[in-house]
Amino acid sequence: MPTVCVSLDRDDIRGRIDFACRLQALLDLALERPVPRCPTHDLGLTPTRAGNEMLWVCAEGDFRCEVGEYELSAFWPPVQADAWAAPLLGRRFRQYGVAGLSSFSVEDRGGQLVARVAVRPEADERAVRDAAAPLPVEISKVPGITTVREWRPATDRDPAHELLTLRGVSMALARVDGTLLRAAPGDDCDFLVGSARVRLGAAHLIGGHGRSLLHDSDGVPFAEEGDPVSCGGGYVPVGPVRGATPIFHAGQISVYRDEASAGRRRGARQASASTTL
């Protein structure tokens, strides 16, 4: 396809909005993707600038939302507990910056939709309720995420290894194997295992340069850069862009080392615990 360079005046806000409208009209014809429609009047919304925000606005004046947040505004609250209700609630939580969630769902209680949310100790319950509004929220509390270390001797299937597991998270059954590597400053992950980008969870700690790479939740070193490791978990897409490399979310990591080395690390952990007490 031929490419075209279009220059837009930084200060000509109306010109930029007009260009966006004409481009959207072209996409509507070429890709059959119309502009969003007002959920009340079924009219095509108009992109408009309000201060520093770009908004979709209905010509009748009773609906507006930020560009990129149409689904959260037009379809929230949901009218039934269908397959879209929980994903929309998840997007609301991300929009409000809610952290510390364990699980959530939307259920129909005799015609009344209710959000059920399990939270960890660090969660802000007010933010949870604000994000789910106007749905009533049932909140249950679960323990925080911690790390548990375990030494496992060699078997017919696996060599001896020390296992670091996150307690309080669910895990898939996929795994990645390779050499533990430190992530670059711009990498959106905790560390690399071979070429795979990996996140392990909030309970572990990453040491700075000159220190052990991976520490458990007590701050005791667990693995060094260059260690052979295996992670259990699953890949999670990073966004809607097709072809983008997903990130591996791990619930546990095994580092392969001999028992003597593992014993020295366990001794260091016990000494650290005694000092803390």
Q: Compare 213 and 23 and report the one with higher pLDDT.
A: 213
pTM over the 0.85 mark: no
pLDDT above 70 (res 169): no
For range 89-100, the mean pLDDT: 86
How buried is 242 (Cβ within 10 angstroms: 0-12 exposed, 13-18 middle, 19+ buried)? exposed
How buried is 252 (Cβ within 10 angstroms: 0-12 exposed, 13-18 middle, 19+ buried)? buried
Which pLDDT value is given to residue 274? 43
Q: Compare 236 and 137 and report the one with higher pLDDT.
A: 137
Q: Lowest mean pLDDT: which of 23-27, 93-97, 151-155, 246-250?
A: 23-27
Q: Report which listed range, 11-25, 107-121, 224-238, is most confident.
A: 107-121
For range 236-253, the mean pLDDT: 69
162 neighbors 254 (Cβ within 8 angstroms)? yes
pLDDT above 80 (res 127): yes
Q: CA 98, CA 4: separation in Å to the nearest integer?
A: 41
How do 174-182 and 64-66 pair as beta strands? unpaired
